[in-house]
Amino acid sequence: MGIDNNKIRRFGTSPVFFTAIATILGAILFLRFGFATGTLGFWGVLLIIFVGHTVTIPTALALSEIATNQKVEGGGVYFVISRSFGLNVGATIGIALFLSQAISVAFYVIAFAEAFEPLFNFVYAETGIFLPRQVISLPVMTLLTVLILKRGANLGVKALYAVAAILFVSLFLFFAGEGEQTVNGEYGNFAFRNPGDFFMVFAIVFPAFTGMAAGVGLSGDLRKPGRSIPLGTLLATLTGMVIYIFVAWKFATSAYAEDLTTDQLIMTRIALLGAPVILLGLAASTISSALGSVIVAPRTLQALAADRSFPSRRLNFLLSKGKGETNEPFNASLFTCMIAFVFVAVGNINAVAGIITMFFLLTYGSLCLISFLNHFGADPSYRPKFRSRWYISLTGFVMSIWLMFKINTGYAIAAAIIMVFLYLYISGKNKERKGLEVIFQGVIHQVARKIQIYLQKSKKISSSSWRPSVVCISRHSFEREKPFDLIKWISHSYGFATYIHLIDGYFSRATCEESDRLLKELINMSNAEESNVYVDTLISPSYTSAIAQIIQLPSISGMDNNMILFEFDKEKPEELCQIIDNYSLVRAGNYDVCILGCGRKQLNYRKGIHVWIKPTDSENSTLIILLSYVILGHPDWRKSHIKIFSICREEEKTDVRNHLLELISKGQLPISPGNIEILSNGDNKNSKQLINEKSADAALTLIGFRGEQVKHQQEKLFTGFDNIGDVVFVNANKYKEIK
C-alpha cells in the first residue's frame, strides 16, 4: 500500500534547497559556532567542518544516486530506505527518523526563544522576575501548528522563502560588519587550540550539518523528485559548507577568543547594524528550521502509516489519511505537533538532542550503506542517472558509525539497542515482509561468485587436504529423512553438501511447476533442520541420465564435488539394482561412493558410530575414519563416540592395533584406545555375522567395500545386515591421508 500517486505535485527544486539550507544554517550557527571558534581556533573548526562533511557529502551523493534510480514517492528518506532495505528495516529506521524530525521541531522552537534573550534580561533587570523561555516558545509552537494545519506545506514553503531571505540578509550584514579584533588588527584565533576538547565541541556543532536531507521529505510533493532531490540536496550541502567556513573565518578575525566562548550572541557585536539584524536572523534561522522539520516529519509519518508500519490498523488508516487533492497529511501533522508541544513544554532537550543526533547519523549511515551495497552487489536493476563512488559511500557509512561512538558512546549504544528491539517488534508483527536478508542479498551473490571463480582458478585445495563435498540424489526425500540427515551431519562443520530430489519424467511445464513446488518444500525442510545443505530438484527421464548430469555439477563451494551418496531401504533390496548399474559411471568421475542402507530401527546417538576396517581394505580405511569424525562433529552426536572394529588374521592382531593407534594419535582423533577392537577372521563366523553381532545396537555403522566386490557380488554385497540399524557402505576413490 502506498500514498496516492495521482495527487498533484506542485513543487520544483527550490523548496528542496531552501528547506535543507534553512535547516543547515540554523540555531547552532548563531548560538554555538562562535564558541567553537573560540575554543578550537579557526583551523580546529575547519577540521570539524571537514570531518562533519565526510558524513554529509557522501550521504548527499548517496541520496542523489538512489533518488535517480527509482521513482521516489512520499516519505522522503524513509521511502528511499524502505524500498532499498525492505519494509521492516525501513520502518525501523523510519520511526526513529520521524521521532528525530518531530523532536527537532521542538528543538528549533526552543532555540527561537533565545532570540528574545534581551527581552528576558530587561524584564529581569526591571522586575527581578526570571521569565521561562516557554513564555515565547509555547505561543510560537501554537502559531506554527495553526499555520501547518490550516494551510499545509504550500504556505509553509512560502513562509520558508521569506525567512530564508531574512537569514541571508542577516548573514550578509554579519560579514559586512567589523568586530573589535578587526579594528585593532589582531588575528590570534587561527591556531588549533585545545585538541582535547575537539569531540566535545564536535558534538555541539555537528547537528548544524544534519539538515541536508530535510528537503527530501518533500519528495511526494515534487514534480520531478529524481531531478530536484539531487540538485537541491547537493547544492544546499555545498553552500552550507562554504558558508560555515567563511563564518568561522569571520569569527576568527573579528573577536577575541574569550568573548567568543562566553557570549553566545557574539554575532550582535560584529554585524553591521548590530543586535537587531542578528536577533532577527536567529529568529529566521530557527523558525525556518522548525518550519522545515514540521513540513517533513508528517510526511515521513504518513508514509510509515501507508506502509502499515504500526500495529493498529485504525492508527495506520488515520495517520495515512490526507486532505484535499494534494493528500496533505493533516492527521500526521497534528500528531507531530503534539509530540513537539510536549518537548517544548519541558523546555530542556539537551539530553534528547544527543539521541536525535544518533538517529540522524544512523539514518545517514544507512543511506551510504545502501549506495555501497548496490555498487558492490552489481544489481542490473540498479541504474541511477547520477552515480556516486563506492568508496565515497563506504567512507560515509564508516564515519557515521565511528562518530556515533565518538560523540557519545552511551547514546550510541542506547540508539542501537532501541533500533534492535524496534526491528524485532516490527518483524514479529510483519513476518510476511522482507527483513535484513534484503540488505546483503546482492552482496552475498557477488561474494559467492568471486569466491567460486577464485577457487576454480587457484586450485588451492588438493587431495592431501581432504574435506567432503557430497551430493546426494533421492526420489524418496519426503518418505525417508535419513539420507538428508546424513549429509546434514557431514556438512555441518567440515564439508559441503548438495541434496537433489529426483523427479522422473521429461522436462515440461507440468514437471517444472512440480519441481518449483517440491523445491519450496525442500527449502522448508532444510530450514526446519537448521542445516547447511543446499537443496535442489532435477527432472530426468532416467536414473542414469540424472547421475550423469549430477556428477558433472560443481559443488556449492566452487570446486568439484568429490563424494556421492546413494540410498536404499534395507527392506527393499531391489532398489539397489539402479545403484549398482551406475556404480562404474560414478567411479569414472573419480568420486568417493557412499551407499546408505536405511533401517527401521530408531536412532540412538548415545550408542555411537561403529567403523569396520579390514587390512585388505586399506584404501577405504582412512576415509571411513575421517567420515566418522566429520559426522561426530554435528551437535546431534555430541554425547556419542566412535568405535573401531578391524577383522584380520590372528597373528596380525598386534600389528593392526598398533597401526590404528598410530593413525589415531597422528590425526589427533577423539577415539579412545579402549574403543578399538580387533577380531580374528579365523573364527567360525564370516564378516557379516560379526558385524550383525557386534553392531546390533550401534546408531550408525560404516563399512568399506571395493569395486571388484560390486562386480562379483552385486546386491548381495549390501544385503544380509538385518540385525543392525542404518549402515553406510563406503568406497574411496583413493587413499586419504590422515594428517
Number of Cα atoms under 13 Å in the Cβ half of residue 283: 15
- Whether 456 is in a domain gets the answer no
Same domain, residue pair 506 and 632 = yes
Same domain, residue pair 472 and 369 = no
pLDDT at 213 over 70: no
Which of 437, 472, 501 is the last residue in one of the domains? 437
Same domain, residue pair 472 and 579 = yes
pLDDT digits (tens, 9 = 90+) for 489-505: 998 888 888 999 999 99
Same domain, residue pair 514 and 626 = yes
Q: What is the pTM of this model?
A: 0.64
Top-confidence residue, 128 or 56: 56
From CA 371, how far away is CA 354, in angstroms rounded?
A: 26
pLDDT digits (tens, 9 = 90+) for 342-380: 888 876 555 556 666 777 788 788 888 878 887 776 666
Which of 405, 437, 469 is the last residue in one of the domains? 437
Residue 509, helix vs strand vs coil: helix
Residues of the domain holding 121? 13-437
From CA 299, how far away is CA 101, in angstroms rounded?
A: 10
- Whether 69 is in a domain gets the answer yes
From CA 211, how far away is CA 21, in angstroms rounded?
A: 7
Q: With contact defined as beta carbons under 8 Å apart, do 628 and 468 qualify?
A: no
pLDDT at 240 over 80: yes
Residue 613, helix vs strand vs coil: strand
Q: Sort strands 496-504 and 469-474 into parallel, antiparallel or unpaired.
A: parallel
> All 3 cell numbers of residue 497?
553438501
Instruction: Check the CA dihedral 390-393-397-398 and report its sign.
Output: positive
pLDDT at 415: 77
Binning the chain into helix, strand and coil, the percentages to the nearest 5 are 65, 10, 25
pLDDT at 185: 46
pLDDT digits (tens, 9 = 90+) for 469-494: 899 999 998 888 899 999 999 988 88
From CA 617, how far away is CA 622, in angstroms rounded?
A: 10
pLDDT at 639 over 70: yes
Same domain, residue pair 319 and 216 = yes
From CA 111, how far away is CA 134, in angstroms rounded?
A: 11
pLDDT at 545: 92
- Whether 587 is in a domain gets the answer yes
From CA 258, how far away is CA 645, in angstroms rounded?
A: 88
Instruction: Check the CA dihedral 382-386-387-388 and report its sign.
Output: negative
pLDDT digits (tens, 9 = 90+) for 508-522: 999 999 999 999 999
- Whether 375 is in a domain gets the answer yes
pLDDT digits (tens, 9 = 90+) for 308-324: 888 788 888 888 887 77
From CA 204, how far away is CA 353, in angstroms rounded?
A: 10
Q: With contact defined as beta carbons under 8 Å apart, do 327 and 3 qualify?
A: yes
Question: Partners of 642 in the beta sheet?
Answer: 609
Amino acid identity, position 477? S
pLDDT at 591 over 50: yes
> Residue 128: which CATH number?
1.20.1740.10
Task: Give the number of other Cβ atoms within 10 Å of residue 443's Cβ.
Answer: 16
- CA torsion, ordered 19, 24, 27, 29, to nearest 10 deg: -140
> Residue 523: which CATH number?
3.40.50.12370
pLDDT at 500: 93
Same domain, residue pair 264 and 382 = yes
- 496-504 sheet: strands from edge to edge: 534-540, 496-504, 469-474, 563-569, 592-598, 726-731, 700-704, 609-613, 642-648, 676-680
Which of 402, 437, 472 is the last residue in one of the domains? 437
pLDDT at 129 over 90: no
- Whether 443 is in a domain gets the answer no
pLDDT, the chain, mean? 81
Question: Partners of 645 in the beta sheet?
Answer: 612, 677
Top-confidence residue, 63 or 709: 709
Same domain, residue pair 411 and 505 = no
pLDDT at 731 over 70: yes
pLDDT digits (tens, 9 = 90+) for 64-123: 777 776 666 656 677 777 777 678 878 888 887 888 788 888 888 887 787 777 787 778
pLDDT at 446 over 90: no
From CA 162, how far away is CA 164, in angstroms rounded?
A: 5
Question: What would the DSSP string read from start to end of 178-230?
Answer: --HHHHHT-----S---GGGHHHHHHHHGGGGTTTTGGGGGGGGBS-HHHHHH
Helix (H) or strand (E) holding 503: strand 496-504
Same domain, residue pair 485 and 408 = no
- CA torsion, ordered 412, 235, 8, 141, to nearest 10 deg: 50
Question: What is the count of structural domains for the chain?
Answer: 2
Which of 524, 77, 505 lies closest to 296, judged by CA?
A: 77
- Whether 450 is in a domain gets the answer no
pLDDT at 123: 81
**What is the pLDDT confidence band of residue 631, given thresholds at 50, 70 and 90?**
very high
**What is the pLDDT confidence band of residue 592, given thresholds at 50, 70 and 90?**
very high
Q: With contact defined as beta carbons under 8 Å apart, do 344 and 138 qualify?
A: yes
- Whether 513 is in a domain gets the answer yes
- Whether 590 is in a domain gets the answer yes
> All 3 cell numbers of residue 405?
561512538
From CA 535, how far away is CA 522, in angstroms rounded?
A: 7
Same domain, residue pair 410 and 347 = yes
Same domain, residue pair 465 and 503 = yes
CA distance between the termini of the chain: 60
Same domain, residue pair 280 and 148 = yes
Same domain, residue pair 534 and 424 = no
pLDDT at 728 over 90: yes
